[in-house]
Chain A
Amino acid sequence: MPGTVVSIIVDGPLTPEALAEALLPHRADLERVHATGNVGATLRFDGIVRRMERDTKMSGEERALSHLEYQTYDPMAERELRSLAASVCDRFGLLSIIALHSRGLVAVGEVSFVLEVASAHRAEAIEAMPAFIDRLKQDVPIWKRAVWDDSPPATRVKR
Chain B
Amino acid sequence: MRVEVLLFGPAGAAVNSDRVAVEVAECEPGVCTVREALQALQAQHPALRSAIGTIERARLAVNHQYASAETKIRPGDEVALIALVGGG
Contact = CB atoms under 8 A, between A and B. Distances in A.
Contacts of A136: 87-88
Size range of the interface on A? 20 to 34
Nearest to A102: B87
B6 A142 contact: no
A141 B10 CA distance: 12
Given A73-B61, A75-B64, A145 B88 contact: no
Contacts of B80: 73, 76, 141
Contact of A143 (B6, B61, B65, B85): B85
Size range of the interface on B? 10 to 19
Nearest to A142: B87
A144 interface: yes
Contacts of B65: 76
Interface string B47-88: 000000000000001001110000000000000101011111
Given A73-B80, A141-B8, A142-B87, 11 more contacts: A47-B88, A73-B6, A73-B64, A76-B80, A113-B87, A137-B85, A137-B86, A141-B82, A141-B85, A143-B10, A143-B84
Interface of B: 6, 8-10, 13, 61, 64-66, 80, 82, 84-88
Closest 7 A-B residue pairs measured CB to CB?
A: A143-B9, A142-B87, A76-B64, A113-B88, A141-B82, A47-B88, A143-B8
